[in-house]
Amino acid sequence: MNEIDEDDFDYLEEFEELIDFEEMLGDLPECQTGQYVLGTVRMDLLLDNRVDLRIFFRFEYALVEEWTFTPYYLPDIHFSDRLEIIQVIVKDDVYTSVIKTYWLRVFQRAWRRLYQERQRWLQTVRKNIVSFVTQRSLGPGLLYPTYM
């Protein structure tokens, strides 16, 4: 017979606490066009499920993510298997979405590469300045600074 691990018991208590907290909050207000939400998206880019930010900030990410992807969802109908930042577009009572997390990752990668290139350039400039100042203080043909 399988015994329940103490960590599993704590996890189940946290899960029940999350569900109770969600019930206490009540229903989420309707999404507006242009609003940013945290949630999941189906393959046809329809908003599937969203998370109240009060829940997201109160509980651990892994717990919120598991609560969002409940067992009755099939993993192959989701755009990704994690929470995304989504901009909602409401048109004719259909909640379509633009996934902003993807573009945020692209922007971060580009910015990180640009930052590293600038840091390398700055190091080269610093080395050249130090080299120039050292050579100038030594003077032509001198091995030691003139003040020694």
Cα(76)–Cα(83) distance, integer angstroms: 15
Question: What 3-state DSSP class applies to 95?
Answer: strand
Count the domains in the chain: 1
Asked if residue 144 belongs to a domain, the reply is no
Cα(63)–Cα(68) distance, integer angstroms: 9
Cα(127)–Cα(121) distance, integer angstroms: 10
Asked if residue 88 belongs to a domain, the reply is yes
Q: What is the pLDDT of residue 120?
A: 92
Please report, in angstroms and rounded to a whole number, the separation of the first and last CA atoms in the chain. Answer: 84
Task: Show the domain range for 64.
Answer: 6-101
Regions of the chain where pLDDT drops below 50? 1, 72
Ranges assigned E (strand) in the chain: 36-41, 47-51, 84-91, 94-99
Asked if residue 69 belongs to a domain, the reply is yes
pTM comes to 0.52
Strand order in the sheet with 94-99: 47-51, 36-41, 84-91, 94-99
Asked if residue 97 belongs to a domain, the reply is yes
Q: Quote the tokens at residue 128.
A: 């050249």
Q: Quote the tokens at residue 18.
A: 């999350």
Of 29, 5, 21, the C-alpha closest to 64 is 21
Asked if residue 132 belongs to a domain, the reply is no
Cα(91)–Cα(106) distance, integer angstroms: 28
Q: What is the pLDDT of residue 82?
A: 75
Cα(99)–Cα(102) distance, integer angstroms: 6
Asked if residue 53 belongs to a domain, the reply is yes
Asked if residue 27 belongs to a domain, the reply is yes
Asked if residue 44 belongs to a domain, the reply is yes
